């Protein structure tokens, strides 16, 4: 199956492509589902064929129309990874995808592909704790630096000012996490892509806009349609969706994806074939899961917002008309997602006591799985970020992050009510 119907050129929807794109059953004994290609290496028909495949893989030869990439070795390519990459790229409306051993493998491989000593990343904050650590503690060892600016309504202006300070020719990547983990703060992707154009004007290399789309994608937000060059995921989360695998993905434009694929081959940061197979299974249901999870999350968020023990609830589905964050949401999101951050009265002590009382939602980090999860970012996922910085983003010691799963909404609401009960 191709992205378009072969005779009418009718463009299929991603839900349909997730069931058929990039796979020919008759190359696998007629198996309707792609089998798991659990092999490290692939046999060549002839020595000439092997040579040709390597020339294509390493860009040693000008590519001709008739050339097709051959399977070589599972660090370079594998059918389970390739089919998944093609399907997710179609979902994001991008040229190509690349699947990694984890979301962090995706972000670190991407950073090493794009950046060289002396370069700067401008990044919206907050970001996931692991990304923060990479940008603040690992990349500086390679003389690559990050300026974090508040994610929100005027991030483009703050980034513009930061670029002017360091010198625009030093800026190579604008990195966004929108909505941000854990605060759900949103950044207008289009305004950042426009800034990237502005900073690239007259320069010999393009400033890349990269968006971590883990919270909303691929269902409720398509950053490439708003001008992003690269879309990043922790596929461990909603895409995998069953809390049974760790993986990451990047999708984007062909030229930069080719560079990324080569770096992945050399660093060996690809996903393994079985994770690729699991991801293919998961992609078939991601739309149904995410829509149902978001419906339930809306109900839970409304209940929390009305609860006397809750100071504030950060959830896109509760943003009011007139709020600039709501305008960003209306522009680039088609649903509110399933992540809720809510602050419990009484700080860390009260939040810990509540977390210990949940029975349906599990007390665990991660998100996007079929089961609901609760955790305390301040002292768990984001504990590496200095407290004063976290507090400036509204991530206080009493802020709980909840990932809403597929349980019955009534049971989850009941679970929240009993967890929030004061003794
Ligand atoms: C927004 C976001 N990006 C990236 C990551 C890293 O993904 P992984 O744990 O798959 O390496 C996470 C993990 O929680 C995340 O929440």
User: What is this structure's pTM?
Assistant: 0.97
331, pLDDT greater than 80 = yes
- When pLDDT is averaged across residues 232-258 and rounded to a whole number, the result is 97
Q: What is the pLDDT of residues 345-357, one digit of tens each?
A: 999 999 999 999 9
CA of 139 to the centre of ligand 1 (A): 18
pLDDT for 423 equals 67
130 lines ligand 1 (CB under 6 A): yes
393 lines ligand 1 (CB under 6 A): no
Residue 213 covered by a domain: yes
- The string of DSSP codes covering 206-252 is PPEEEEE-TTTTTTS--GGGGT-SEEEEETTTTTT-SSS---EEEEE
CA of 185 to the centre of ligand 1 (A): 16
Residue percentage of the chain with pLDDT more than 90? 94
In a shared domain, residues 391 and 246: no
Q: What is the pLDDT of residues 304-327, one digit of tens each?
A: 999 999 999 999 999 999 999 999
In a shared domain, residues 222 and 310: no
Residue 353 covered by a domain: yes
Residue 394 covered by a domain: yes
62, pLDDT greater than 90 = no
246 lines ligand 1 (CB under 6 A): yes
pLDDT for 422 equals 79
Q: Which of 105, 175, 237 to mutate to test the pocket of ligand 1 (most atoms within 8 A of CB)?
A: 237
**Taking the CB of residue 237, how many other CB atoms lie within 10 A of it?**
23
CA of 63 to the centre of ligand 1 (A): 35
Residue 7 covered by a domain: no
Q: What is the pLDDT of residues 151-207, one digit of tens each?
A: 999 999 999 999 999 999 999 999 999 999 999 999 999 999 999 999 999 988 899
Residue 319 covered by a domain: yes
In a shared domain, residues 390 and 246: no
360, pLDDT greater than 70 = yes
Please enumerate in sequence order all residues whose Cβ is within 8 A of that of 211, keeping only pairs 6 or more positions apart, or say none.
175, 176, 177, 178, 189, 223, 228, 230, 231, 232
In a shared domain, residues 180 and 221: yes
Residue 202 covered by a domain: yes
pLDDT for 61 equals 85
- When pLDDT is averaged across residues 37-53 and rounded to a whole number, the result is 97
In a shared domain, residues 129 and 267: yes
Q: β-pairing, 248-252 with 230-234? A: antiparallel
pLDDT for 58 equals 85
Q: How many whole angstroms separate alpha carbon 31 and alpha carbon 27?
A: 9
| Residue 144: domain span | 78-283
Give the three-class secondary structure for 375: strand
Q: What is the pLDDT of residues 87-117, one digit of tens each?
A: 999 999 999 999 999 999 999 999 999 999 9
Q: What is the pLDDT of residues 253-263, one digit of tens each?
A: 999 999 999 99
């Amino acid at each position: 199956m191709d992205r378009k119907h072969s005779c009418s050129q009718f463009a299929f929807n991603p839900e349909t492509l997730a069931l058929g794109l990039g796979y020919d059953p008759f190359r696998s004994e007629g198996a309707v589902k792609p089998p798991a290609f659990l092999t490290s290496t692939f046999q060549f028909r002839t020595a000439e064929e092997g040579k040709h495949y390597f020339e294509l893989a390493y860009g040693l030869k000008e590519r001709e129309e008739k050339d097709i990439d051959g399977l070589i070795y599972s660090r370079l390519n594998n059918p389970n990874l390739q089919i998944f990459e093609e399907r997710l790229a179609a979902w994001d409306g991008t040229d190509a995808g690349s699947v990694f051993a984890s979301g962090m493998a995706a972000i670190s491989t991407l950073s090493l592909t794009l950046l060289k000593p002396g370069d700067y990343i401008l990044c919206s904050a907050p970001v996931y704790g692991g990304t923060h650590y990479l940008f603040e503690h690992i990349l500086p060892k390679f003389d690559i630096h990050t300026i974090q600016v508040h994610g929100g309504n005027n991030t483009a202006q703050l980034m513009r000012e930061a670029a002017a300070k360091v010198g625009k020719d030093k800026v190579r990547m604008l990195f966004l996490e929108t909505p941000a983990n854990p605060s759900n703060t949103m950044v207008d992707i289009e305004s950042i892509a426009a800034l990237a154009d502005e900073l690239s004007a007259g320069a010999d290399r393009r400033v890349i806009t990269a968006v971590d789309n883990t919270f909303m994608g691929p269902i409720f937000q398509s950053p490439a349609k708003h001008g992003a060059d690269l879309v990043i995921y922790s596929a461990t989360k909603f895409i995998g969706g069953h809390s049974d695998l760790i993986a990451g993905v990047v999708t984007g434009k062909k030229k930069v994806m080719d560079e990324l694929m080569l770096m992945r081959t050399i660093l060996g940061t690809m996903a393994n074939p079985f994770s690729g197979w699991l991801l293919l299974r998961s992609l078939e249901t991601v739309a149904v899961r995410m829509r149902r999870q978001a419906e339930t999350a809306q109900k839970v968020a409304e209940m929390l917002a009305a609860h006397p023990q809750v100071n504030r609830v950060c959830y896109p589905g509760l943003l009011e008309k007139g709020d600039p964050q709501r305008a960003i949401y209306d522009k680039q999101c088609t649903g509110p997602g399933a992540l809720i951050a809510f602050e419990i009265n009484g700080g860390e002590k009260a939040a810990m006591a509540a977390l210990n009382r949940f029975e349906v939602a599990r007390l665990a980090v991660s998100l996007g799985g079929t089961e609901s999860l609760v955790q305390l970012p301040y002292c768990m996922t984001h504990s590496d970020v200095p407290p004063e910085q976290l507090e400036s983003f509204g991530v206080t010691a009493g802020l709980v992050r909840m990932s809403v799963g597929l349980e019955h909404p009534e049971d989850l609401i009941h679970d929240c009510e009993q967890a929030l009960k004061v003794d």
